């Protein structure tokens, strides 16, 4: 098997693990376990809490002491054990604790997956910006495949989704140990205390442009958490008036259009980054979030199905143009010696602080617009659309960046 095929399989399994429960677990907890919106938002917010320190911590380990592919494998194995435990839990407090433990192991793997991919591709001497997106797209395909497995198995409101995720996570954990070695970068020069602790990625905040970039990455991470947490519940709530509609009978299939869209937009990233640069790519992402939420607000699974489908398609641009492009931008700006730590820092801002804020605030908003168990989804989604619109107005003035097409497509640290 060629190295690119091996990376494709690794990326496929990485997001199959996540896709097995991320979109459907919220509906299971609200509808079957009768958790409140705030409780579900808090449980999803554990991804944010874990990402506050675990991706950076595991990045430090991979940069300083242990091969990145081994750290990746160990995290997946321990995460799968936590998922098996979660499948037996029916009480919100314990579910919060168990999912926090799971996320402490899983969330670092997203950045580590990128780190291993980048390191292996650089050893091959290829253009990472050009070669990585077609490999990463298989991660999204893995996410879609997991959603379809759960939907066709009728497990969207069933703890079996957690068994599926645990099994795939354990398989990936073992597989990760077979990947090419990605050893720590051991510098021969004398290191400062900051460097020896692996915290030198935080020096990126000294650059005002990077500080602003990380701030908006965090705010966009909050938007992503909103749609992950309540997208499935939103469709399930249409059962009263649209019980026989496709979107209600197969919510994961409808939502998977978002991930199918991702696979297409990922392939456009090299063109957009080279042609327009990270500033315009991020701005496009922000306004795509406005449309994502706005179309949810006015759509329904009946005569408004086309609006929901449009929202799903736009999601691909909204997600890829800040998440994948942002990761590549950080890879280009960070020095090779702090590459894993820099990816961990990006994860901290997006899936850490951003996800925590998104989970907490979205849970509060959902409960605020809920009366006698009836959720006013139009007001909920319009509130989120207004949030994204404010970001879109402020971002071009706050992020100072001059695009150079000749520099955008390459990394100075290859």
Under 8 Å between Cβ of 225 and 354 = yes
Q: By the 8 A CB rule, do 166 and 87 touch?
A: yes
DSSP at 230: H
What is residue 290's three-state secondary structure? helix
DSSP state of 323: H
Q: What is the pLDDT of residue 337?
A: 66
For residue 237, the cross-strand partners are none
Cα 103 from Cα 147, distance rounded (Å): 19
Those residues with Cβ within 8 angstroms of residue 33's Cβ, 6 or more apart along the chain or in another chain: 90, 92, 95
Measured between alpha carbons, how far is residue 355 from residues 46, 50, 121, 247, 273 in Å?
8, 10, 29, 26, 25
Q: Residue ranges per domain, the chain?
A: 7-182+196-408
What's the rounded Cα separation, in Å, for the pair 112 and 367? 35
SS3 248: helix
Per-residue pLDDT 10s for the chain (414 aa) are 688 899 999 999 999 999 999 988 988 998 899 898 789 888 988 887 887 778 777 877 877 788 888 999 999 999 999 999 999 999 999 999 999 999 999 988 988 898 888 888 888 777 777 788 788 889 988 998 998 999 889 898 899 999 999 999 999 999 999 998 888 765 544 445 455 444 567 777 777 888 888 889 888 888 877 877 788 788 888 888 888 888 888 887 888 898 888 878 878 888 888 888 888 888 999 999 999 999 999 999 888 999 999 999 999 899 888 887 888 788 777 776 666 667 767 877 887 788 788 878 888 898 899 888 888 999 999 999 999 999 999 998 988 777 666 654 444 343
The predicted structure's pLDDT at residue 178 = 92
pLDDT score recorded for residue 94: 96
Largest CA distance in the chain: 68
- 375: enclosing H helix or E strand: strand 374-375
Q: What residues are paired with 374 via a beta bridge?
A: 371
Q: CB–CB of 199/341 below 8 Å?
A: yes
- pLDDT value of position 197: 44
Nearest of 36, 139, 50 to residue 93 by alpha carbon: 36
Q: Where are the alpha helices (DSSP H) in 237-354?
A: 239-242, 246-249, 251-266, 269-298, 305-333, 339-347
DSSP state of 34: -
Query: Cα-flanking dihedrals φ and ψ of residue 373, to 5°?
Result: 80, 0
Topology (CATH level 3) of domain 7-182+196-408: Growth Hormone; Chain: A; (1.20.1250)
Q: Among all chains, which residue has been given the structure tokens 């951003």?
A: 354
Of the candidates 220, 178, 169, which has an alpha carbon nearest to the alpha carbon of residue 387?
Answer: 220
How far, rounded to the nearest angstrom, does the alpha carbon of residue 102 sit from its chain's CA centroid? 15
């Amino acid at each position: 098997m060629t190295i690119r095929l091996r990376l494709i399989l690794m990326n496929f399994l990485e997001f199959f693990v996540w896709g097995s429960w991320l979109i459907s677990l919220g509906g299971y907890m609200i509808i079957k376990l009768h958790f409140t919106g705030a409780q579900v938002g808090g449980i999803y917010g554990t991804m944010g809490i874990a990402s506050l320190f675990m991706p950076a911590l595991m990045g430090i380990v991979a940069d300083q002491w242990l091969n990145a592919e081994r750290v990746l494998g160990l995290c997946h194995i321990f995460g799968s054990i936590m998922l098996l435990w979660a499948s037996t839990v029916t009480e919100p407090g314990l579910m919060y604790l168990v999912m926090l433990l799971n996320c402490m192991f899983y969330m670092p793997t997203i950045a580590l997956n990128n780190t291993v991919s980048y390191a292996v591709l650089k050893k091959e001497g290829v253009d990472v910006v050009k070669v990585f997106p077609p490999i990463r797209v298989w991660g999204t395909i893995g996410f879609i495949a997991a959603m379809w497995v759960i939907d066709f198995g009728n497990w969207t409101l069933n703890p079996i989704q957690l068994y599926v995720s645990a099994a795939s996570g354990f398989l990936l954990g073992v597989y990760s140990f077979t990947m090419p070695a990605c050893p720590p970068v051991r510098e021969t020069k004398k290191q400062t205390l900051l460097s020896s602790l692996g915290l030198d990625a935080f020096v990126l905040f000294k650059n005002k442009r990077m500080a602003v970039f990380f701030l908006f990455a965090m705010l966009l991470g909050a938007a992503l958490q909103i749609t992950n947490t309540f997208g499935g519940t939103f469709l399930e709530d249409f059962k009263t008036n649209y019980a026989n509609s496709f979107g209600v009978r197969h919510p994961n299939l409808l939502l998977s259009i978002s991930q199918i869209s991702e696979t297409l937009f990922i392939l456009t990233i090299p063109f957009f980054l080279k042609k327009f640069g990270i500033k315009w790519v991020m701005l496009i992402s922000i306004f795509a979030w406005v449309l994502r939420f706005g179309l949810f607000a006015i759509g329904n699974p009946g005569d408004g199905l086309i609006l929901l489908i449009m929202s799903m398609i736009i999601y691909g641009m909204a997600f890829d143009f800040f998440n994948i492009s942002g990761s590549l931008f950080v890879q280009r700006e960070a020095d090779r010696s702090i590459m894993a730590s820099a990816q961990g820092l990006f994860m901290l801002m997006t899936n850490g602080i951003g996800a925590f804020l998104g989970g907490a605030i979205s849970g509060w908003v959902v409960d605020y617009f809920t009366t006698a168990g009836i959720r006013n989804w139009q007001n909920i989604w319009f509130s989120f659309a207004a949030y994204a619109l404010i970001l879109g107005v402020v971002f071009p003035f706050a992020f100072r960046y001059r695009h150079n097409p000749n520099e955008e497509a390459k990394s100075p640290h290859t």
